[in-house]
Amino acid sequence: MAKKAVVILAPGFEGIEAITVIEVLRRSGVEVVTAGIGSGTVKCSSGVPVVADARIEEITDTPDAVVLPGGVPGAENLGNTEAAKKLAEKVAAAGGICAAICASPALALGKWGLLEGKKAVCFPLYRHLFPDTVTQIEEQVVVDGKFITSLAPSTSLPFALTVARALTDDATVQPVEDRLKGNV
């Protein structure tokens, strides 16, 4: 049975980060549901409207992963949404993967206390917002147990591939990576 990931789209999310993860996960055979905060259509930080599969309040099951794109004001909106926090807490409690990129590691996962005692990275402008219990690592993608964090829009592809490998395996993801990089 395919693994399931929920990608949360908050108003002002970073489109590159969200769409890259959605594409890589789907190409790797992961069932992806996009969950919008607010209406069913959510505008990314550059104003492009994206139609979500569901509203965040409609997600009642516990997926194998929750993915939090960054962006401003997307990460702030995400971090201030109780339904997003509850879903991430539920996924973490079930041993699932919590993945966040750009500003979301600090403004969502860190704010919610989910990165206590973990290693993580986020966009440099938001590092000061990490709780003192987070060990900041200078890498593009940081994996600490079931938590995956990433630096910026430019790290969207390695972030997405890391999340895909965590949900599937290298044999599944390598052909996807090869194709995306033109190694065919």
Listed residue (12, 102, 101) closest to 48, CA to CA: 12
Name the helix (H) or strand (E) containing 97.
strand 97-101
122 catalytically annotated: no
What are the backbone angles phi and psi of residue 9, rounded to the nearest 5°?
-110, 105
Residue of 44, 98, 102, 122 marked active site = 102
Written in H, E and C, the secondary structure of 74-91 is HHHHHHCCHHHHHHHHHH
SS3 53: coil
Give the whole-angstrom CA distance, residue 84 versus residue 78. Answer: 7
CA pair distance 87, 6, nearest whole angstrom: 9
Q: How far apart are CA 77 and CA 108, in angstroms?
A: 9
Neighbours of 124 (CB within 10 A): 11
Residues annotated catalytic, as ranges: 102
